[in-house]
Amino acid sequence: MKNVFPPYKLGPFRHRHSGSVVLLIVLVLVLIAGGSGLVWYYYRQNDGDGDERILMAGVTRGPFEQIVLEQGVVESSSSVEIKCEVKSGASNTTEILWVIEEGTHVDKGDKLVELRTSALERDLVQQQIVCNTSYALVVQAENTLRAAEIARVEYLEGAFRQEEQAALSEIFVAEENLRRAQLAFQSTERLAARGIVSALQMEGDQFAVEKARNELDAAQTKLDVLRKYTRAKMLKQFDSDIATAQARWDSEKQSHELEMEKLEEIKEQIANCTILAPEAGQVVYANTFSGFGGGSEFVVEEGALVRENQVLIRLPDPTKMQVKANVNESRISMIRAGMPVSIEFDAIRGRKFRGRVTRVNQYAEPTSWRSGNIREYATFIEIFDPPEDVRSGMSAEVRILAERHSDVLQLPVQALYETRGRFFCLLKDGDRWETREIQVGSSNDSYMIVEAGLEEGDRVVLNPRAYVDRLELPAMQDADSGPDQEALPAEPGVEGPESAGPDRRGGPPTDLPGGPGSDGQDRADGSGKDTSARGGSKPSGQHEGSGP
């Protein structure tokens, strides 16, 4: 049979195929050898415990820092708030007619906001009418008072004197009539003694004398009544009229003054509708936003309705900036005024700025239904030499240096086993396992200070809870039992609360500025107290920072 493919055409293809197979086999062998070496090295690093994968860590000595990491908002520590000073009417709101653009730099006296004045102008016209009416009543009351005063004088100088003169005249006439009647009766008596007149005529003259005497007594009584009672009665009446007129006049004057004050107040409210800058600064709107439609949202814009004393604009002082950060209640006890802070702004990445804690609020911030039972406390941080491009409302990340030690013994927090308020570590040396109780101090995200029980270079198991069957715990008293109760044996399968480690992010900055001295063990607030001697304290799972 004839060969279709001559030998000289198959040679090159056969040689190329054989070389590729050999190269593939060599590559597979290299990968298998490398993987075997890595496996051998991994188990070798874990003390060569056969196939059991035990994670180990060494106890080291070095610097330790405790950092509280939070997010905050930039604001000015010296900010002028521009409020709506227009008193709310029936609608309790006033409309913004015009507002200056946010971010504008203004000088003292520049117009910031203009509110609608149409309703106030209508009130001004109505109030002017009321004021005119009240002024007319004041004039009328004053004239009534003056008329009452004139009537009193008129009575004393006119009517009373006329009545008094008339009474005196009647007395004078009565006295003259009495004198004449007496003379006539005396003459009649002499004639009767001579028998010239009769007894009846003498009796008539005697009656005339008695009549004249009665008329004189009546005239004198009339004068006494006029002087003692009628005059006093009339003066009381006039004084009462004067007092009543005076009271009415005072009342009308006060009412008119109140109406005038209300008129001036409306004029002042109209003037307050034009809000001017009390000092120079940069305009920042006092907008408020509420998530999930909470109903408290407010945006400063034309047409927005504002209420009395509502903040519309803030004029922050750019040379006095601060950061307001809300700190969880589990960390607030670590923070005190004076602690150094490293600040990084979201808008200026790659640069860190120095600051310090100036104030920590004693009361928690208001909470909402979304925050649950979480309590946060406002912490205010001063910014040293703030840059010009930092503005109010920017987000910032603050790292508060709560504690620093230059040289302390420490181990990873994962290597701790806690039960009934005591701390243990699991050590392994060859085939020998050892449970050792230790005394601990402060902790951060990764490491905890060891005060007693371990030495530098000791190697401990990182996950002791995975080997509870190898833990040999001593008999100990339950944390909730009294001193007279019998101590309970420790059960490896049932332990107390575990230090689960911090639940916050972050670690210490590599270039934290403004911190305390690096020698010795110092508090970050510069107090100089040694805070590492807290033997037996529970590791704070809420502390921030990183290990050495």
Q: 515 is written with which tokens?
A: 């911190």
Same domain flag for 107 and 168: no
Residue pointed to by tokens 């086993």: 417
Domain C-terminal end among 331, 351, 383: 383
Query: Do residues 411 and 64 touch, judged by C-beta distance below 8 A?
Result: no
Would you give the distance in Å from CA 154 to the centre of its chain? 69
Q: What are phi and psi of 198, to 5 degrees?
A: -90, 170
* Closest to 418 measured CA to CA, from 443, 384, 393: 443
Q: What are phi and psi of 7, to 5 degrees?
A: -60, -30
287 in Cβ contact with 137 (< 8 Å): no
Regarding whether 133 and 106 lie in a shared domain, the answer is no
Neighbours of 251 (CB within 10 A): 13
- Report yes or no on 295 lying in a domain: yes
Dist. CA 166–CA 434, nearest whole Å: 137
The DSSP bridge pattern shows strands 376-383 and 60-76 to be unpaired
Is residue 183 included in any domain, yes or no? yes
pTM above 0.85, yes or no: no
Quote the domain boundaries for residue 231: 119-272
Task: Specify whether 77 is located in the same domain as 131.
Answer: no
Question: Which stretches of the chain drop beneath a pLDDT of 70?
Answer: 1-21, 36-52, 89-90, 290-296, 368-372, 477-548
Are β-strands 60-76 and 447-452 bridged in parallel, bridged antiparallel, or unpaired?
unpaired
Q: Are residues 235 and 293 in the same domain?
A: no
Tell me: do 90 and 139 sit in the same domain: no
Q: Which residues of 275-295 are buried (b: 16+ CB within 10 A; e: fewer)?
A: bebeeebbbbbeeeeeeeeee
Burial class (CB in 10 A: 0-12, 13-18, 19+), 544: buried
- Domain boundary (223, 238, 272) is at 272
Same domain? 128 vs 267: yes
**260 contacts 339 by C-beta, under 8 angstroms:** no
Residue 526 located in a structural domain: yes
Q: Is the same domain home to 124 and 256?
A: yes
Dump pLDDT digits (tens) for 91-119: 788 999 999 999 898 999 999 999 999 99
On whether both 414 and 536 belong to a single domain, the answer is yes
State the Cα–Cα distance between residues 120 and 89, nearest whole angstrom: 9
One domain, residues 245 and 268: yes
Q: Is residue 421 domain-resident? A: yes
Give helix then strand counts, H and E, for the chain. Answer: 5, 23
Provide the number of structural domains found in the chain.
4
CA distance 323 to 296: 24
Q: Which residues contact 45 (CB under 8 A, 6 or more apart)?
A: 56
Q: Is residue 392 part of a domain?
A: no
pLDDT for 63 equals 92
Q: Using alpha carbons, select from 315, 313, 291, 316 the residue that is nearest to residue 300.
A: 313
Token pair belonging to 161: 């004197």
* Residue range 331-369, pLDDT digits in tens: 899 899 999 999 999 988 888 999 999 999 999 988 766
Residue 368 near residue 294, CB atoms below 8 Å: yes
Which of the listed residues 240, 272, 304 is the one where a domain comes to its end? 272
Give the residue carrying structure tokens 């590791």. 539
Which tokens is 268 given? 């002042």
Same domain, 217 and 328: no
Say which residues have a Cβ less than 8 Å from residue 392's Cβ, sequence separation at least 6: 74, 75, 76, 79, 284, 314, 316, 321
Q: Which residues of 450-466 are buried (b: 16+ CB within 10 A; e: fewer)?
A: bbebbeeebbbbbebee
Q: Residue 422 and residue 435: Cα distance in Å, rounded?
A: 13
Indicate whether 548 belongs to any domain: no
Question: Residues 481, 527: one domain?
Answer: yes
What CATH number has the domain bearing residue 501?
2.40.420.20
Residue partners of 99: CB distance under 8 A and separation at least 6: 112, 113, 114, 300, 301, 302, 312, 313
Alpha-carbon distance values, 121 to 127, 266, 285 (Å): 10, 8, 28
DSSP 156-196: IIIIHHHHHHHHHHHHHHHHHHHHHHHHHHHHHHHHHHTTS
DSSP state at residue 491: B
Amino acid letter, residue 235: L
Within a domain: 504: yes
Burial class (CB in 10 A: 0-12, 13-18, 19+), 219: buried
DSSP letter (8 states) at residue 399: E
Answer whether 435's CB lies under 8 Å from 429's CB. no
Residue 390 in any domain: the answer is no
Spatial contact of 282 and 315, defined as CB atoms under 8 Å apart: yes
CB 522 within 8 A of CB 404: yes
At 280, which amino acid appears?
A: A
Q: For position 156, which CATH number holds?
A: 1.10.287
Q: How far apart are CA 278 and CA 82, in angstroms?
A: 9
Q: State whether 341 and 411 are in the same domain.
A: no
Phi, psi of 301 (to 5 degrees): -160, 165
